[in-house]
Structure 1
Amino acid sequence: MKNKEEFIRRFNEAFSNNDLDLILGHMSDDIEWVFIGEKTMKGKKAVEEFMEPMKNIETLEMELQQIIIQDGVAAANGRMKIKEPTGEIKSFGFADFYEFTGQEALKIKKMTSYVSGIKED
Structure 2
Amino acid sequence: MNNKQILETANAAITKGDYEGFLSFCADDTIWTFVGEQTLHGKEAVRQYMAATYLEPPKFRVENLIAEGDFVTALGKIDLKDIAGNVTNYSYCDVWRFRDCKMAELTAFVVEITSSQISQS
TM-score scaled by structure 2? 0.83
Q: How does 1:50-69 map to 2 (within 5 A)?
A: 50-59=49-58, 61-69=59-67
CA RMSD of aligned residues (A): 1.9
Q: What percent of counterpart residues are identical?
A: 24
8 A Cα contact 1:11 1:23, kept in partner? yes
8 A Cα contact 1:14 1:20, kept in partner? yes
Using the alignment, how far apart are the partners of 2:73 and 2:12 within structure 1?
15
- Which piece of structure 1 moves more, 37-46 or 8-17? 8-17
8 A Cα contact 2:65 2:72, kept in partner? yes
Number of equivalenced pairs = 116
CA-CA distance at 1:55 after TM superposition:
4.1
SS of 1:37 mapped into structure 2? coil
TM-score scaled by structure 1? 0.83
Using the alignment, how far apart are the partners of 1:93 and 1:82 within structure 2?
11
Aligned to 2:79: 81
**What residue ranges of structure 1 are gaps of 5+ in the alignment?**
none
Are the structure 2 counterparts of residues 42 and 14 from structure 1 closer, same or farther at C-alpha, using a change threshold of 3 Å? same
Are the structure 2 counterparts of residues 58 and 99 from structure 1 closer, same or farther at C-alpha, using a change threshold of 3 Å? closer
**For 1:116, which of 100, 106, 111 is the aligned residue?**
111
Q: How does 1:1-121 map to 2 (within 5 A)?
A: 3-59=2-58, 61-102=59-100, 105=101, 107-120=102-115, 121=119
Are the structure 2 counterparts of residues 110 and 37 from structure 1 closer, same or farther at C-alpha, using a change threshold of 3 Å? same
Runs of 4+ displaced beyond 6 Å: none
Using the alignment, how far apart are the partners of 2:85 and 2:112 within structure 1?
17
Using the alignment, how far apart are the partners of 1:14 and 1:58 within structure 2?
9
